[in-house]
């Protein structure tokens, strides 16, 4: 998975999880359905949630963290959202590309993945103001795909996505609790959509 000199130059500046997040935040949010490998993210200078998470995992690997993804799962009225997770000592954090301001970076202060995922609960909502997060997957280590060249090969992205779909799933809320949830208040709703790409929003 050889990188070009220019690609290595960009990676060399991403020396912490937060700097990786800042780089993702500098990219326009892609409303396209296609998946981009980390190389294509650098080339096209755009990414959506999936592309951003895979890129972040590749950048985290270069600074000593395993490349690991976790997929956060909504009900049927929203998109899923993928995190590149990392662990500093015994605490979990995450880097993510999102169309919503509240679904991005998390400091490594969470004791386990369940606690990390729950930190996104209030900010995980659709354009109908419905809170939609219901579960998450077991972590997927991208090192399993090294032989396929996932760093530079767009064709491998579908394979990774399919494997994420097959990961063990954990529920965080029961249907009974979900029915009792209040709508997102308007101030939080508008704050979460600040700077969003309207074309990239899920329409329930």
Tens digit of pLDDT for each residue in 2-53? Answer: 899 999 999 999 999 999 999 999 999 999 999 999 999 999 999 999 999 9
**Domain range for 126:** 5-196
- Residue 86: what pLDDT? 99
Its sign, for the CA torsion 11, 104, 25, 161, is positive
Q: Give domain status of residue 37, yes or no.
A: yes
Q: Give domain status of residue 201, yes or no.
A: no
Q: Give domain status of residue 103, yes or no.
A: yes
- Rounded Cα distance between 39 and 34, Å, is 14
- Residue 2: what pLDDT? 82
Domain count, the chain: 1
Q: Give domain status of residue 26, yes or no.
A: yes
Q: Give domain status of residue 171, yes or no.
A: yes
Q: How many CA atoms lie within 13 A of 135 on its CB side?
A: 12
Q: Give domain status of residue 91, yes or no.
A: yes
State the pTM of this model. 0.96
Q: Give domain status of residue 56, yes or no.
A: yes
The answer to whether 182 and 122 have CB atoms below 8 angstroms apart is: no
Token pair recorded at residue 204: 């329930």
Q: Give domain status of residue 178, yes or no.
A: yes
Residue 170 has a CB neighbour count (10 Å cut-off) of: 15
Its sign, for the CA torsion 137, 83, 139, 44, is positive
- Rounded Cα distance between 59 and 55, Å, is 6
Where residue 187 falls (left for φ over 0; alpha for ψ -120 to 50; beta otherwise) is alpha
Residues of the chain where predicted confidence (pLDDT) is lower than 70: 1
- Residue 49: what pLDDT? 98
- Residue 90: what pLDDT? 96
Q: How many CA atoms lie within 13 A of 59 on its CB side?
A: 32
Q: What are the phi and psi torsion angles at 78 (to 5°)?
A: -160, 170
């Amino acid at each position: 998975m050889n990188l070009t000199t220019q690609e290595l130059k960009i990676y060399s500046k991403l020396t912490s999880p937060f700097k990786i997040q800042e780089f993702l935040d500098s990219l326009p949010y892609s409303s396209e359905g296609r998946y981009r490998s980390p190389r294509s993210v650098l080339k096209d200078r755009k990414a959506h949630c999936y592309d951003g998470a895979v890129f972040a995992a590749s950048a985290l690997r270069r600074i000593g963290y395993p490349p690991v993804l976790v997929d956060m799962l909504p009900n049927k009225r929203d998109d899923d959202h993928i995190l590149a997770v990392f662990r500093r000592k015994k605490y979990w954090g995450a880097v993510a590309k999102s169309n919503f301001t509240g679904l991005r970076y998390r400091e490594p202060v969470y004791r386990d993945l369940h606690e990390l995922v729950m930190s996104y609960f209030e900010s995980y909502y659709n354009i109908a103001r419905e809170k939609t997060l219901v579960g998450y997957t077991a972590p997927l280590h991208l090192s399993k795909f090294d032989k396929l060249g996932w760093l530079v090969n767009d064709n491998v992205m579908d394979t990774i996505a399919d494997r994420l779909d097959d990961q063990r799933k954990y529920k965080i809320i029961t249907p009974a609790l979900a029915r009792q949830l209040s709508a997102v208040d308007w101030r939080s709703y508008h704050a979460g959509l600040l700077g969003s790409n309207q074309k990239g929003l899920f329409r329930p």
